[in-house]
Amino acid sequence: MPIVHISMRAGKPLAYRQALFDSFHRAMREALAVREDNQFMTITEHDPANFRYGASYLGVARSDDIVYIQITVFDTRTREQKEALYRRAVALLGESPGLRPQDLFVTLLEASKENWSIGNGVASFL
């Protein structure tokens, strides 16, 4: 049950943003066995004055095309699944919309199942 928040600089066309959604969702399906209809994703665009990044932090040469993706998931994923997600996301986002590997910044946050209510005011996964 991932929730995905994508942050980026404003100005990319609709097709680029939709490709971000589609490619990252495919990476989650392939690496984390996420269901096809499990698509809870947002994109937030920021003006350049409100978007900052370390252009060479830890030796990675980033550009203004950097995309932050924060994903919140159940705390049930293995290290291997997480590593597979990062690799698959770089590959698929490189294909479409053409994001450079250096410009993909992913953070994965884990939450136990009792911390989720996806509707109707109930702990959905207990």
Which residue, 108, 110, 1, 8, is CA-closest to 51? 8
Torsion sign, CA atoms 7, 8, 11, 16: negative
The H-assigned helical ranges of the chain are 14-32, 79-95
Torsion sign, CA atoms 20, 26, 29, 35: positive
Residue 97 catalytic? no
Query: Which three-class secondary structure state does DSSP give residue 102?
Result: helix
Q: Distance between CA atoms of 1 and 32, rounded to whole angstroms?
A: 10
Active-site residue, from 2, 13, 97, 101: 2
Q: What residues are annotated to the active site?
A: 2
